[in-house]
Amino acid sequence: MESPTQTSADYRSLVGQSAPKALSQFFGFDAFKGDQEAVISNFLEGKDTFVIMPTGGGKSMCYQLPALMMEGTAIVVSPLIALMKNQVDAIRGYSEDPDIAHFLNSSLSKVDMIRVKDAVATGKTKLLYVEAGERRFSALGAPFFLCYR
């Protein structure tokens, strides 16, 4: 996979597009890496999908792109707060909308938690990273699909 061309696409325009076109438009990549396209197709077709990939194998793209292409918010369960922050910062680097991704964990103040919950509840957030065992997102009342990282 080549290095991406920096883009600043509106993720709302990705709904209904083909995965390769959405990959190029939002992330600036010309091609998928390894089995990413097949995994993403399974997600988009609503199939239960279990994926094991090595470090650097492109796991993040396998849930990030479908999350951007589908309605609702993807919940990503992550074991490390630092990893959540890194993932949120990375996806925000492709968008002008800072609400595209958030994390909800014990490092946030009450004010920040309310801000995140409001962004999710109003449909602004496409990816929400939570700690394993996190239950605070259950009352948000928005459509979700769940990804374990």
How would you write the pLDDT of the chain (149 residues) with one tens digit per residue? 444 555 556 788 888 899 999 999 999 999 999 999 999 999 999 998 888 888 888 999 999 999 999 989 999 888 788 889 999 999 999 999 999 999 998 889 999 999 999 999 999 999 999 987 655 544 444 434 455 44
> Is 130 within the bounds of a domain?
yes
User: What residues make up the domain containing 101?
Assistant: 11-148
Asked if residue 3 belongs to a domain, the reply is no
- 107 is a domain residue: yes
Task: Give the total number of structural domains in the chain.
Answer: 1
In a domain, residue 55? The reply is yes
pTM recorded for the entire structure: 0.81
Cα end-to-end span (Å), the chain: 22
In a domain, 35, yes or no: yes
